[in-house]
Structure 1
């Protein structure tokens, strides 16, 4: 028994006449009669009492009317649901991010733009380290990751979209001697103790960047997993840190931000997703990123 049989059956039941039902269905009457006979044979009971003028439902037929309508309504609901999901109108987009994505404002700007365009799509946010984001996207646990670029290559299975580039600032206590400068030369950072942002213990990215910047092994005073911890420790004078310049929008007590002088690095932010995994709401989100980049 398939949906076509149920539609044919309901047409006959509602019209009370094979000829009118055939016209409604745009098929010839003999073909309709064959389909109804096949349905009755499959169910093992008569669905209609036939006469030369009209047909009437049997007890089994009246029961099937209720179930057929319910089944067809559910099938239509499922069809609509899948079609809307395929167009990206509904569904869930699972997004991983690092603190820099929030500090720069890029993540929140993207969320605003996407929600305005696709208000029925749910957005799930998960703060996690870059390496964990890559693993989660590859394993299908995340759809999109907002990752910084520290020179390490991304897995070949990942599509990488550039989101932005920002200069780095030195974050330090307002009592630090370097706070009196307008900019901080790279050479002045050589002997400074650093507060290292290491989300979920992953310090590889920033540590590599500091080694390249300083040309030597940096002094690491603290490793922390949140931006607020960076601000608390630097404000207390327990080290300096590097952060994307937009972080300076956060006015933290006892903290100042100073640009890194000539030769300072830049903070690169990209969106990663599984190559070939663009479907439904995720496809629409990635399309939105492309339009904003353009």
Structure 2
């Protein structure tokens, strides 16, 4: 039995007339009659009593009408749910992010814009180091990543979009010698214990930036908030995005770091994404970037 048979049957039952039902379905009356006969063969008996003036349901037809309407309603709901998913109106988006994406406003702006347009889509967020985000995108446990461009490694198999750009600053305890400076140059950091964000605790790219002889003076952390907490405690001075100044911690001051390259926030996703909700999120980000 096909859904088409049930739709034809319901139309005839509701119109009580083959001609009117055929016009409603935009088929010929002979086609409709053929389909109803095929249905009756599957049922094993008549579902209509045909007279010269009207069509009436048999007892079997009355029972079938209740179930047919229920079945067609469920089929329509299933199709509607699938279409909503394809359009990105339902489902979920799993997002990994680094703190810089929140501080710079990139993540919050993207989330607000997407949620306004797709309020029924669930958004799941987890703060994760860049390397973990990349792995999550590859193994399917994440859908979108927000990460600084440093520490990503080889991501040629992923789609990257450049977002906000930020400069670096130094966060230090208020009584630290560097706290009184208007700005700080990299040479001013010689001999200092540096607290640096890294993708993981063995991030060679971060260590190499400070030279092999300085490795004993570099403390790697995997969150901006952790770096600020250590700096406020006097463990060392933290190299953080300038936007980290928006996080106010007791006894902590921020100073601009001169003569260093900027940091870009990258949005990461998979090519050829299948999930409608994720595709909708990516489209939302792309349209914002083009505006």
In the alignment, is residue 272 of structure 1 matched against residue 242 of structure 2?
no
Q: Does 1:21 align with 2:24?
A: no
Q: 2:244 aligns with which of 243, 247, 257?
A: 247
Q: Which moved more, 1:188-197 or 1:6-15?
A: 188-197
Stretch moving more, 128-137 or 108-117: 108-117
How many pairs align? 290
- Is the partner of 2:214 in helix, strand or coil? coil
Whether 2:275 is the aligned partner of 1:283: answer no
CA deviation map 1:53-95 (0-9, x unaligned): 2222122111111111111111111222222222222221111
| Correspondence 1:115-154 to 2 at 5 A | 115-150=115-150, 152-154=152-154
- TM-score w.r.t. structure 1 length? 0.91
1:258 corresponds to? 255
**Conserved 8 A contact 1:145-1:272:** yes
Q: After TM superposition, give the deviation of residue 10 of structure 1 in Å.
A: 0.5
Whole-Å separation in 2 of the counterparts to 1:3 and 1:220? 72
Equivalent residue number for residue 156 of structure 1: 156
Task: Indicate whether 1:30 and 2:30 are aligned.
Answer: yes
With structure 2 as the length reference, what TM-score do the two structures score? 0.92
Shift of residue 145, structure 1, vs aligned partner: 0.3
Label 1:224 to 1:151 Cα distance change in 2 as closer, same or farther (>3 A).
closer
In structure 2, relative to structure 1, the CA distance for the partners of 1:218 and 1:241 (3 Å cut) is farther
User: SS at the partner of 1:96?
Assistant: strand
CA RMSD of aligned residues (A): 2.0
2:158 and 2:270 in contact (8 A); partners too: yes
Query: Residues 186 and 160 of structure 1: is their aligned pair in 2 closer, same or farther, counting only changes over 3 Å?
Result: same
Whole-Å Cα distance in 1 between the matches of residues 274 and 84 of structure 2?
15
Q: Counterpart in 2 of 1:114?
A: 114
| Equivalent position SS for 2:125 | strand
Alignment of 1:41-56 (within 5 A): 41-56=41-56
SS in 2 for 1:119: coil
**Residue 203 (str. 1) matches residue 198 (str. 2):** no
Displacement after TM superposition at 1:8 (Å): 0.4
> How much does 1:167 deviate?
0.7
Distance in 1, Cα, partners of 2:234 & 2:20: 88
Structure 1 unmatched runs, 5+: none
In structure 2, runs of 5+ residues without a counterpart are none
